[in-house]
Amino acid sequence: MIRPAVVAHGGAGAGPERQVNVEEAVIRAADILKRGGSALEAAIEACVILEDDPVFNAGTGSVFRTDGSVLVDASIQTSDGRMGFVVAMKDTPNPIRIAADLLDEEINGLAGEGARIWADSKGFDKRKVVGRIPHEESTDTVGVIARDKDGLIVCATSTGGCSNRPPGRVGDVPLPGCGFWVQKEVGVGATGIGEAITRAMLSYRVADRICADIEIEEAIKSTLDEVIDDKSEVGVIALSLQGLGVGISNRNNMPWATWCAE
C-alpha cells in the first residue's frame, strides 16, 4: 500500500521562525491527499500557500532584482513523465499555476514576456507583485513534493530568485535537474544559491543516488558535501515512494515539514 505524503520547505536561510508558515502549506497538502486528491493538486495548492505568504521569497514576497524589478520562476515535474517551468515572469503572483498549465502541452517551458502572454491567453491572475528589498537574511525559494495513494510523485518549486541578481539572470528553479527533479519513484527539490545548485545539477544527482538505493538522508548529505562549496548555502528536500519526506540544508536553517498518512 502506498501512503500519501508531503514534504515542503520555506527556503534556505528562512530559519525556524518560518516553521509554522511551512506547516500551513503541509496541512493544506495533507487535507487534499486525505480526501483522495492527487499529488498534483496537493503540490500546486501547497505551493500557492507559500507563494501567497509574504515572508517567503516566491510569488508575493519575491525580492527585487538589481534593477528593482520583480521577476518570478517556477517549475513542476511529475513521476508520470510530465514537466512545466516558467522563467522571469512579471506581474505573476502564482507562477506555479502557469508552470502546471504546461504539463500537458507540447512545450515544457516559457520565459519572460512569452510566458505572460501565454498566461493572459489562459486567464491566469495578472497583478503587480510589489516585492521587497533583499536583505542579508532574505530567504530563498519554496518547494513542495507530494505523493498520492496511486504512487504519483510531484515536485513543485517557486522563487523570486536569490538576492542581488540582474533581471535577465536564470537561476536553478526553472532548470530541470538543478532546482528540481523527479525520476522513477523519487522527487527532489533544491533551494539556495542557484548558481551552485545549477553547476552541480544538484537535484538530479541526489535523485540518482536515492534510485541507487542510498538512503535519502545519506544521499542528500553526501551530495551536498561533495558538490556544494562551503560558501554556498543550499538545502534539499526529497521524497520517495516509501517513507517520510526529508529536508537537509548545509546551514541547518531551512524550515521544512513533512506529513505522511498512517
Q: Which position among 45, 51, 148, 172 is part of the footprint of ligand GLY (CB under 6 A)? A: 172
CA atoms of 181 and 179, how far apart (whole Å):
7
CA atoms of 93 and 96, how far apart (whole Å):
9
**Least Å distance between CB 159 and ligand GLY?**
4
Q: Both ends of the chain: CA-CA distance in Å?
A: 11
Stretch that binds ligand GLY, among 2-10, 62-70, 131-139, 156-164 (CB under 6 A): 156-164
**Least Å distance between CB 14 and ligand GLY?**
12
Residue 235 found at the interface with ligand GLY (CB under 6 A): no
Helix (H) or strand (E) holding 257: strand 256-260
**Least Å distance between CB 130 and ligand GLY?**
19
Angle formed by the axes of helices 39-52 and 19-34, to 10°?
150
Residues 180-199 that bind ligand GLY (CB under 6 A): 191-192, 194
Helix (H) or strand (E) holding 249: strand 246-249
Q: What is the total count of residues that contact ligand GLY (CB under 6 A)? A: 11
Q: Which is nearer to ligand GLY, 203 or 258 (CB)?
A: 203
Q: What is the DSSP letter of 17?
A: G
Active site residues: 141
Residue 223 found at the interface with ligand GLY (CB under 6 A): no
Residue 71 found at the interface with ligand GLY (CB under 6 A): no
- Evaluate whether 159 touches 171 at the Cβ level (below 8 Å): yes
**Least Å distance between CB 6 and ligand GLY?**
21
Residue 141 found at the interface with ligand GLY (CB under 6 A): yes
Stretch that binds ligand GLY, among 32-40, 59-67, 122-130, 168-176 (CB under 6 A): 168-176
Q: Which position among 140, 148, 208, 233 is part of the footprint of ligand GLY (CB under 6 A)? A: 140
Q: Which three cell numbers stand for residue 147?
A: 505523493
CA atoms of 241 and 249, how far apart (whole Å):
22
**Least Å distance between CB 138 and ligand GLY?**
11
Contacts of 245 (CB under 8 A, 6+ apart): 5, 6, 7, 145, 237, 238, 239, 256, 258, 260
Residue 161 found at the interface with ligand GLY (CB under 6 A): yes
- Partner residues linked to 83 by β-bridges: 77
Residue 13 found at the interface with ligand GLY (CB under 6 A): no
Looking up cell 491567453 gives 121
Which spans of this chain sit near ligand GLY (rule: CB under 6 A)? 140-141, 159, 161-162, 171-173, 191-192, 194
